[in-house]
Amino acid sequence: MPERPSSRPPKGDPRSDGGGVFAEIVRGAKLDARESSIPDPLPPDRRQRVLQIVSELARCGPESDAPLRKQLLKLGTDALPAVAHAFPGSLWVDLGRPHRPLKSARHLSGLANTLIAYGDDAVPYVASLLRATRPETRLSAALVATDLVHGELVKPLAARLQDDVPLVRQAAMGALRASALLPEARRLRAELIGTVEDTQLKAQWRKKAAWMIGQLRDAEAVPRLIELLGDDDVSEVCRETLVLLVGRDVGRFRFRWRSWYKSHGEEGRARWLIAALDQPDQERRAVVAEELVLLTGEGFDRRHAIATREQAKELGQHYERWLASQR
C-alpha cells in the first residue's frame, strides 16, 4: 500500500529538459525578491493622495474599506503599483484555519478587495505578487486570483503548486480550479497528461508532470492514469495521484482500477471522496475530509467529525446535502 500521497514535488527537478507550458512553469517557479515597486513617479500631489488612501486601505477593517476603495478607483490605474507594494495589508481573517476555507478574497483585506475591483488591469500585479518572497503575500495573491479569473494567471498559479508553503499550494489549487474552463488551463492539463504518457521523455520529467496532475486535482485524468499503472517508470507516482484523486487505494494493478472506474467513474470526484469516508483507517478518513473541504469550499467542525466511522458517515451525509443544494 503506498504511503500517503506527498504534497511535495518529486526530487530531480529536470529544469534543463522539455518545452511548452509545463517546462516554463517548472523553470519559472523561483520567487522574486524584488516583489513590487512603484514605477515612474506620479505628480507629487497625486502621488501623495494615492499613498494616503492606500495606507488607509492597508489598515482598515471590513466596515470602512468601500468608501476608500471608491476614492482610489477614481484615481485610475496609476494607483495599482502602490496597492501592490503595500499588499496584502492588515488581514481580516486567520488564513491558518484549515477547515474554515476562505471562499472569496473579498473577505481578506481592503487591498485584496481593491485589486479585485481593478479587474483585468490588476492581473499583471497579481502575477508578480504570486512570486513574492513573503509567504503571506503569495497566499493572499493566490486567493485574489480565485476571484480575478484570467488566463494570464494560469501559469503563475501553476508554478505555485511547487511552493514550499502548503497553504499557498492549496490556495493556488483553488484558484486554478476556478480557472478550469479557461483555454489556458485546458492546455496545461492536456500537456501534463501528455507528458506523463510520453515514454520518450526522462522518467523524472514524467513523474513531475504526474505529481502536478495531482496538485491540480484533475479528476478527468483518472482513466489515463489508470492505464499508466503498467508503466514501471511512473506507476508509483501515478498510483499516489490516483489515491489522492479518488480518496482510496484500489491496488497496484490496472484491472482492479479499471473495474472500480467502470462502476464509479461517472459519479464524479465529490462522490468518490464521500464514499471514501467509510474507510476503517482514521488517518485515511482525515485526508479524505481535507480533500472534501478543498473541493467544495464547505468547511466543518473537525473536533468530532471523523473520530469514528459513524461520525464520518454523518460527515458524508453533510456533503451529500451540500451536493444536492448545488443542483
Instruction: Please check whether residues 88 and 174 belong to one and the same domain.
Output: yes
5: in domain? no
Per-residue pLDDT tens over the stretch 123-169: 999 999 999 999 999 999 999 999 999 999 999 999 999 899 989 99
17 belongs to a structural domain: no
Query: At which of 178, 208, 239 does a domain end?
Result: 178
Q: Is the pLDDT of residue 70 over 70?
A: yes
Query: Does one domain contain both 66 and 127?
Result: yes
87 within a domain of the structure (yes/no)? yes
* Residue 150 CB neighbour total at 10 angstroms: 18
For the entire predicted model, the pTM comes to 0.77
Query: d(Cα 170, Cα 150) in Å, to the nearest integer?
Result: 18
324 is a domain residue: yes
> Is residue 32 classed as helix, strand or coil in its secondary structure?
strand
- Residue 252 included in any domain: yes
The total domain count for the chain is 3
- Using alpha carbons only, give the angle 149, 24, 26 rounded to the nearest 5 degrees: 95
Tell me the C-alpha distance between 42 and 11, whole Å: 47
For residue 94, the enclosing domain spans 44-178
Q: Are residues 162 and 204 in the same domain?
A: no
Residue type at 254? R
Residue 8: predicted pLDDT: 54
pLDDT of residue 186: 94
Q: Would you place residue 311 in the very low, low, confident or very high pLDDT band (cuts 50, 70, 90)?
A: confident
In a domain, 20, yes or no: no
Dump pLDDT digits (tens) for 2-15.
555 555 555 554 43
Choose the final residue of a domain: 123, 144, 178: 178
38, pLDDT greater than 50: no
Do 285 and 249 sit in the same domain of this protein? no
Q: Minimal CA–CA distance to 189: which of 146, 154, 223?
A: 154
Average pLDDT, the chain: 87
In a domain, 34, yes or no: no
- 113 and 150 in a single domain? The answer is yes
Percent of the chain with pLDDT over 90: 66
Task: Tell me: pLDDT of 99 over 70.
Answer: no
Task: Please tell me whether residues 141 and 60 are part of one structural domain.
Answer: yes
Once rounded to an integer, what is the mean pLDDT over residues 111-130? 97
* Cβ proximity of 60 and 90 under 8 Å: yes
Across the range 105-125, mean pLDDT stands at: 95
